[in-house]
Structure 1
Amino acid sequence: MNTYKRFPINFVEGKGSYLWDDMGTKFLDFTSGIATCNLGHVPENVMQAVQHQLSRLWHTSNLFPIENQEKLANLLTSQSCLDQAFFCNSGAEANEAAIKLVRAYSKAKKGNNPVIAAFSQSFHGRTMATVSATGQEKIRAGFEPLLEGFIHFPFNDLNALGRIKDAAPAAVMLELIQGEGGVIPAKQEWIDELVKVCKEEDILLVVDEVQTGMGRTGTLFAYEQYCFEPDIVTLAKGLGSGFPIGAMLAKEAVATAFQPGSHGSTFGGNPLASAAGLATVKELTTSTVLENAITASESLYTILLKLQSRFPFIKSIRGKGLLIGIEIEGEAGNIIDSAQQENLLLVSAGPQVVRLLPPLTITKDEIEDFEEKFSIALERYMEA
């Protein structure tokens, strides 16, 4: 169906930070499958784990224990402040699970009709519940009536916190960096006050880390950098290095609101997906990948600030780690098209923001390759 505006490039092979099309042309990939291939394309350890599992068992369903799934749950909870995991196939499904868990917990504890507070310019997925939670009219338009039970407030607005307190929602749901909304990081002062309100009013904190999780911002979870503990965290994208897997993590007291039959997924966390997820998280937590992401981020910001001084149409540079937004005057799509002419792949975050999402494994030489290609793309855009 006509649901995607596709670029006319047919990729047939990938390795590390590069993709090759069916004509043999090599592209430097700064999209990572939209923040998914965090270890680069076809990472060796993940490939070996999937190949091993592929020869043994593909699927049994969640009616039976799945060894890789249990190991992955233990690894994710040991590396976070959360206690239990539910596995699904995507970020939208992870957020659906979080919404259901909030409702189940609130009704069991308070017996009320739970409302979830979310924020303007947020993006939580494209199912009916997650579209309703999303704070972007362009995502919601045409799908009314939306699901009831969501109220929206301005992001990063200290003055709105009093209204959130008065609304007394069951939970607050947010991204710590709004990816699709334009790569907008939450301000530390705002997060501190929001966390304070939630603690005082017994409001659950749900953090959507579908894009920011799995090392994308330089730590395994972005919430670590904001120094607080959420009650629920959702994951997907980088969790499986390209294999479809999502997860919802929750603290014990909240997770117990789910009982057998409360929620489920036929394919969620199946042996193949869990093998990919387990190998991915092991690599992220035992190697120097996260340290490399921080170093690479510093190098990229240095380059981008230098380019900003050359090209006045670059209005701002923002983000954390290797989730970087470049706000420009004009259409981001024109710069993305210009970059493709230099065999550099980029993605947008709204009409005026170019988003950089290189693999966390990006090397110094590859960053230099990016600088050369991106500089030419910006020159062409300025001359157009």
Structure 2
Amino acid sequence: MVRGEGVYLFDREGKRYLDFVAGIAVNALGYSDAGLRSALHHAADGLIHTSNLYHTAPGEALARKLVERSFASRVFFCNSGGEANEGAFKFARRWARTVSDAKHEIVALRGAFHGRLFGTLAATDRPAYRLPFRPLVGGISIVERDLEDVSKALDPETAAALIVEPVQGEGGVRVLDHGFLRELRALTRERNVALILDEIQCGLGRTGTLFAYEQAGIEPDILTVAKPLAGGLPMGAILVTEDIALAIKPGDHGTTFGGGPFVSSVASYVLDRLSDPALLAHVAETGAWFGDQLREIAQRTGRIRGVRGVGFMWGLDVMGTASHVVSEAMAAGLLTCTAGDYTVRLVPPLIATKDELAEGLAVLESVL
């Protein structure tokens, strides 16, 4: 690929592709966005890097916006979603040790994907990713998406945190029931266990609210975000409550590049765009329409076994392999990706219009 415009990418031969991947849910504003380009130029006129030894205005401004628009009291910046979850694990354990030295266990759910770094890999439910690197980090386990199983795993004496994706992305685009999320929140509070919500893929507007947890009516103790945060520049963030923040001591964690002035300046602009009520309403309303269209395609073609999703984040369980559908769709000018062997994932830019989405759906139906 050599250039992009709106919701389209172009290869070096000039072929145009309608993009339902968006850099794996990163390019929320699409391509060649005038405002984003201006923000990049403006940021380049200032400091690029100082390290985290010094305060910078862009980093503080971005942290303040994230705090004002969420449950959080403090923010730690890093460079990716995997780093954000690694940091969240450390912060949860650091807080848990202020309660009891025995509290250290981190529990994840079946179907989870939290990263491929050494700690997060132990919480990622992909056997092929895990096998070459065994033994994995201890004290981290995966349990079924069932309240009784989670309850058995969360020993109040030893459990430090439960980590959950409100919408499991790599695990097949599985939207966790809001009632289940509320029950998990109640259980973790009862057991004095930190609740970490991983919104690396489903956060920052993709579900139709700025944060996916808003739709369940809960608030976590720790939230991780990344993908679209800086408009394609590498950035992640860990949002924490005051109780968690107070447990973290100087030297417990660090970052050379995280929250640098250049990337923070760009992210501040992107966050404002993704927080726009009009954009969020568009994602919610158009996303509901999109889901209805997908279900109708499933009925007409007989080639889709299941449709799951919310907002601009959808998964289709297809009759053949997902990789085959992805390959054929690309040949027909539509970019999609997989979320497992049999699930095609659709995560278009949040700016996509109904007409553009309908164009992609027509290609997808033809391919199926």
Range class of TM-score, shorter chain: over 0.9
Report the equivalent of 2:236. 246
- How many residues get paired? 367
Letter in 2 for 1:19: L
**Hey, what does 2:347 align to over in structure 1?**
357
Q: Who is 1:190 aligned against?
A: 180
Which residue number corresponds to residue 258 of structure 2? 268
Aligned with residue 53 of structure 1, among 40, 43, 51: 43
Alignment of 1:7-46 (within 5 A): 11-46=1-36
Aligned match for 1:164, one of 153, 164, 168: 153
Shift of 1:205: 0.2
Q: 1:106 aligns with which of 96, 101, 108?
A: 96
Query: 1 CA distance for matches of 2:196 and 2:189?
Result: 13
**TM-score calculated relative to the size of structure 1:** 0.93
Contact 1:209–1:234 (8 Å) recurs in 2: yes
Check conservation: 2:20, 2:348, Cα contact below 8 A: yes
Deviation at 1:265, TM superposition (A): 0.8
Deviations 1:128-166 (A, max 9, x none): 0010121221221110111111122102x1331331344
Identify the residue that residue 345 of structure 1 maps to in structure 2: 335
For structure 2, list consecutive stretches of 5 or more residues without a partner in the other structure.
Answer: none
Shift of 1:191: 1.7
The equivalent position to 1:282 in structure 2, one of 272, 288, 306, is 272
Question: Which of 44, 56, 60 is the matching residue for 1:70?
Answer: 60
Residue 141 (str. 1) matches residue 131 (str. 2): yes
Tell me the TM-score normalised to structure 2 length.
0.97
The answer as to whether partners of 1:296 and 1:362 remain within 8 angstroms in 2 is no
SS in 1 for 2:356: helix
Of 239, 248, 258, 1:258 maps to: 248
Which deviates more from structure 2 when the two are superposed, residues 291-300 or residues 171-180?
A: 291-300
Q: Measure how far apart 1:46 and its partner are.
A: 2.0
Asked if 1 retains the 8 angstrom alpha-carbon contact of 2:122 and 2:141, the reply is no
Q: What's the offset of the Cα at 1:302?
A: 2.3
Distance 2:155 2:43 in 1: 51
SS of alignment partner, residue 28 of structure 1: strand
Instruction: Kindly state the Cα deviation for residue 312 of structure 1 after the two structures are TM-superposed.
Output: 1.2
- 1:291 paired with 2:289, answer no
Give per-residue Cα distances to partners, 1:165-223, cap 9 Å, x unaligned.
Answer: 44651110111111101111112232222111111111110000000111011111100
Aligned-pair CA distance for 1:287: 5.4
Q: Is the 8 A contact 2:94 2:247 kept in 1?
A: yes
Q: Which amino acid aligns with 1:22?
A: R
Q: Which amino acid aligns with 2:200?
A: V
Per mean C-alpha deviation after superposition, the further-off stretch among 185-194 and 245-254 is: 185-194
Alpha-carbon shift at residue 106 of structure 1 (Å): 1.1
Cα offsets for 1:99-148 (capped at 9, x unmatched): 11011111123222511111121001111001012122122111011111
Tell me which of 134, 140, 162 is aligned to 1:150.
140
The DSSP-based 3-state class of the residue aligned with 1:239 is coil
2:76 to 86, 93, 109: 86
Q: CA deviation at 1:376?
A: 1.7
RMSD between aligned alpha carbons? Answer: 1.3
**Structure 2: how far apart are the matches of 1:291 and 1:370?**
21
Contact 2:46/2:262 (<8 A) preserved: no
User: Which secondary structure does the structure 1 equivalent of 2:133 belong to?
Assistant: coil
CA distance in structure 2 between the partners assigned to 1:302 and 1:206 by the alignment: 31
Percent of aligned pairs sharing the same letter: 38
Of residues 283-292 and 22-31 in structure 1, the stretch that sits farther from structure 2 once superposed is 283-292
2:361 and 2:107 map into 1 onto residues whose CA distance is 41
Give 1:94's aligned amino acid. A
Give secondary structure in 2 for the equivalent of 1:324: strand
Which residue is 1:130 aligned to?
Answer: 120
Whether the 8 Å CA contact 2:155–2:191 is kept in 1: the answer is no
1:366 counterpart residue number: 356
* 1:304 equivalenced with 2:271 (yes/no): no
Say which SS state the counterpart of residue 288 (structure 1) adopts: helix
Matched residue SS, 1:141: helix
1:368, CA displacement in angstroms? 2.2
- Three-state SS of the structure 2 residue aligned to 1:256 is helix
Q: CA deviation at 1:364?
A: 2.1
Q: Which residue identity lines up with residue 298 of structure 2 in the other structure?
A: Q
